[in-house]
Amino acid sequence: MLGKYYRPPFVGIIAFVTVIMAQPLGHTLFVMLQGVLGSPGEATFAASFLCGLLGFILVWIGLKKKETAATWLGFIGAILIWTGWFEYTWEFFSHLLNVQPLYTATGELAMSSGLQVIQASGIIMIAVTVLFYFNRDTRCTAFKWLHRNAHMDPGKAAPGKDRDYARITALETIFVIWFIYVINLTLYDERILGVDHPVTYAVFFGFLVWAIYLNTRLIKYARMAPAVRYAIPTTVITWLDIEVLSKWGILEEFWLMPAEYALEMILVVAAFVVAGVAIYLTPERGEENAP
């Protein structure tokens, strides 16, 4: 009975809804860890460590699963790893190193100390991304496009190699989130640009066009696993514009205030769970398709 929904455009829509709902939930998880346990402290450190460890366990379990389950476990695992080990590590060391928050000229908080440490990691992120770009076995659409158009073909992919979908999805998720974080923080930093800078407006509309283009491709997918993997960069690119709209005061970042916006968070969780179950129930079939 549900079979008619596992075809275009529903596959892409389900993948998009699930992955985009994970973005505010990741922020909410971090806020709850900080708010309930204190920031920073031994309890928060232990909880964040266990959060990331659970993510690694999910990715490990995913290595032994079929494609759809492996992709799903890799994605969820990456969100937990990012929240528990990446975000909290930067937050912890920002306090340890006594990094001062950044305020606007009117005295409003522009960037926390932890976010400034994330911003400082941008060059590391770029360096590691370049090494991934050199991977001749990559299936990343953006990298393959650059290989062709920049005339930097790294060589033919190794034949007959099974793909570790959980690990690949986890790496893609972490690096895409990291990449967008660095771009966001550069836009918000008034020492560099600022939320009202013309470049910020240009980036906003550029990413809007990019997100629309990616979504037109996403809804053509007929299989859930590759659709979810394609939805990861699609939704994170979309999320950049949502973040910018919140900085402009057009949207409220309710995911950072779950106690005050309980109904909204319940709806986000419900959408995530329903779409996640739909992904879990997706039948496995055929080889990976392209749009």
Q: What is the domain partition of the chain in residue ranges?
A: 8-151+165-280
Q: How far apart are the first and last CA of the chain?
A: 25
CB 79 within 8 A of CB 104: no
With cut-offs at 50, 70 and 90, classify the pLDDT of residue 1: very low
Q: Which residue has the higher pLDDT, 291 or 131?
A: 131
Q: Which residue has the higher pLDDT, 2 or 101?
A: 101
d(CA 87, CA 202): 28
Percent of the chain with pLDDT over 70: 89
Does residue 103 sit in helix, strand or coil?
strand
d(CA 43, CA 218): 41
Q: Is 38 left (phi over 0), alpha (psi -120 to 50) or beta?
A: left
Residue 290's pLDDT is what?
39
Residue-wise pLDDT for 212-269, tens only, equals: 999 999 999 988 899 999 999 999 999 999 999 998 989 888 998 988 999 999 999 9
Least confidently predicted of 140-144, 272-276, 284-288: 284-288
Q: Which helix (H) or strand (E) holds 77?
A: helix 67-81
d(CA 23, CA 79): 8
Q: Which residue has the higher pLDDT, 222 or 281?
A: 222
Residue 5's pLDDT is what?
62
pLDDT of 201 above 80: yes
